[in-house]
Amino acid sequence: MTRQPAPAPPERTGASDASPSGNITRSWPRASAVLPITPLLRYAVARHAVPPGTARRTGCDACGASVGPHRPWPALGPTARCGGCGARVGAPPASVELAALAALAALLLSRPPAVELVTAAWWLAFALPLLFIDVAVHRLPDRLTLPAAAGTWLLLGLAAVTGAGAAPWLRAIGAGLGLALFFAATTVLLGTRGFGIGDAKLALSAGALLGWYGWSVPVLGLLLALTLSGVVALALLVSRRARLSSHLPFGPYLVLGTLGALLLVW
């Protein structure tokens, strides 16, 4: 009596791709595609993280060796060291790379619709350098905040004409303008104790990005940003690394609060 051989189990080619873990493993090769972009993000940080009234940085502070997209390594790589003298250039080692990877992984895992994904990626390309610049020199340069706003408004406009309709776009513009006016008003009323004008210009894009999803989302983003900045300010006060009179940058919290609110609605 011969027994039929048991049928071979179906080959698992591609079947595992449908599982969440498959999504993650498929996402990582794409996430690593961000690494060639990080020298440009580092370049934006190195160039603009200078005190007000100072010319934009074009080379190493210590030896003057030229730093730019034409000569990215090693100064604009993860080690952030000048190729000439070994001095630190720009943002701390590995920081920009880790932030970019985290942002891209968040985008790929939450999978918003294509145009919204492109819009968020555009915004992050400016928002991530702004985060590091604001931490370093308490500035949010127009050269980065204004293109971030223009591109965000235009790309959301593209999403509107390709199917979403005018209503979410008008709400996005209204939310961007509203949040910017709120920040600008605190500057006028409270002076240096209010938000900065740079924060208001960053809010033009952050508010629009969030307002696309409803009026409550910019409020959520602002609450997240205020909570996060409050917790950090309290920790700095308790550890005596800041005083009540210290000026703390708000841009990084606006970026993180915006990203946090986006991840909650996607």
Nearer of residues 43 and 123 to Zn ion, judged by Cβ: 43
Residue 55 vs 188, nearer CB to Zn ion: 55
**Other CB atoms within 10 A of residue 142 CB:** 13
251/113 Cα distance (integer angstroms): 26
- Does 261 bind Zn ion (CB under 5 A)? Our answer is no
Q: Which is nearer to Zn ion, 62 or 161 (CB)?
A: 62
Q: How far is CA 84 from CA 45, 59, 61, in A?
A: 20, 11, 11
| Binding map of Zn ion across residues 31-60, x = CB under 5 A, - = no contact | -----------------------------x
Nearer to Zn ion, 67 or 128 (CB): 67
**Nearest alpha-carbon partner for 12 in 23, 2, 22, 4:** 22
How far apart are CB 60 and Zn ion at their closest, in Å? Answer: 3
Least distance from C-beta 91 to Zn ion, angstroms?
A: 16
* Residue pair 129/144 in contact by the 8 Å Cβ criterion: yes
Pick the closer one to Zn ion by CB: 37 or 87.
87
Phi-psi category of 141—alpha, beta or left, where left has phi over 0 and alpha has psi -120 to 50?
beta
Q: Which of residues 182-211 bind Zn ion (CB under 5 A)?
A: none
Q: Which residues between 54 and 113 bind Zn ion (CB under 5 A)?
A: 60, 62-63, 65, 82, 84-85, 87
Q: What span, in angstroms and rounded, lies between the C-alpha atoms of 41 and 25?
A: 25
- Give the whole-angstrom CA distance, residue 254 versus residue 33: 26
- Site residues for Zn ion per CB under 5 A: 60, 62-63, 65, 82, 84-85, 87
